[in-house]
Amino acid sequence: MAGVDGNGVPEATGMEASSGSGPPRNNHCMPFEDCVAGIISAFQQPTLRFLREQMEKAGCPVLLRMIRAMNCTSTNRSGSYCSGKGVCDYSPFLLSFKRIRACFLLEITVCCDQMQIQDHINQLLIHELIHAYDDCVTKNIDWTDCAHHACSEIRANHLSGNCHYKRELLRGFMKIRGQEQECVKRRSLMSVRNNPYCSNSAAKDAVEAVWDICYNDTRPFDRAP
Ligand SMILES: [Zn+2]
């Protein structure tokens, strides 16, 4: 597989879809320095503080230097997660095998040119830390396995609140739950499809196959925050 380092097992694949829909919002992004400050202050937020504590307890402390702020220019991704165990990939739109690179340190990328408000940074970091948590606590997690990847995406999209806006919009309506789940499913599918080891149909099958178990797996939270 192109781009896979000879020493490494290709493992992580963690691109995130941009959290909004519609046209690119680069014109409305936060100033870069505010984004960097926002990353630091995000860890004061209760959900992220809790996740970071849980990571530390699990033996995988999250250090701020593992988080990289950058401008991702002309892509639609908002961030990425790179397992310390192997290889990470990037955007759905940039994706090519050349883009897969060896990554031997856990690294989370925040695309500052896609962040408009603090809440975008918080959601993205929670999402990526769920991947990091899964990487830490799941024995033999294999990011080239579409079902493993699908499970972590379902959890990350569910637990990060990536789909909360749907809930808010539809609060009080019978469909709330269905809408949120649709959103989690759609976003998870989008990420797994971009795993070079998963074809379109394998991604779809994987998301369906693990859906119930992984949607209901809210570790390390008692329930979705
Ligand atoms: Zn993800």
- Give 44-80 pLDDT, tens digit per residue: 999 999 999 999 999 888 988 889 898 887 666 788 8
Kindly state whether residue 223 falls inside one of the protein's structural domains.
Answer: no
Query: Is the distance from CB of 130 to CB of 224 less than 8 angstroms?
Result: no
The rounded Å distance from CA 156 to ligand 1 centre is: 6
Kindly state whether residue 176 falls inside one of the protein's structural domains.
Answer: yes
Kindly state whether residue 141 falls inside one of the protein's structural domains.
Answer: yes
Query: Pick the catalytic residue: 128, 153, 168, 182?
Result: 128
Query: Using CA atoms, how far apart are residues 122 and 120, in angstroms rounded to an integer?
Result: 5
The rounded Å distance from CA 31 to ligand 1 centre is: 24
Does the annotation count 128 as an active-site position?
yes
Both tokens assigned to 95:
């994706």
Query: Using CA atoms, how far apart are residues 115 and 71, in angstroms rounded to an integer?
Result: 10
The rounded Å distance from CA 9 to ligand 1 centre is: 19
* Predicted TM-score (pTM) of this structure: 0.80
Per-residue pLDDT of the chain (225 residues; tens, 9 = 90+): 222 222 222 233 455 655 443 334 456 889 999 999 999 999 999 999 999 999 999 988 898 888 989 888 766 678 888 776 644 544 333 333 334 444 556 788 899 998 989 998 999 999 999 999 998 899 888 888 999 999 999 999 999 988 876 444 654 544 555 778 888 999 899 989 988 889 999 999 999 999 999 999 999 999 999
Domain count, the chain: 1
The rounded Å distance from CA 190 to ligand 1 centre is: 9
Segment (H or E) for 34: helix 32-42
Residue range of the domain that includes 174: 15-215
Kindly state whether residue 58 falls inside one of the protein's structural domains.
Answer: yes
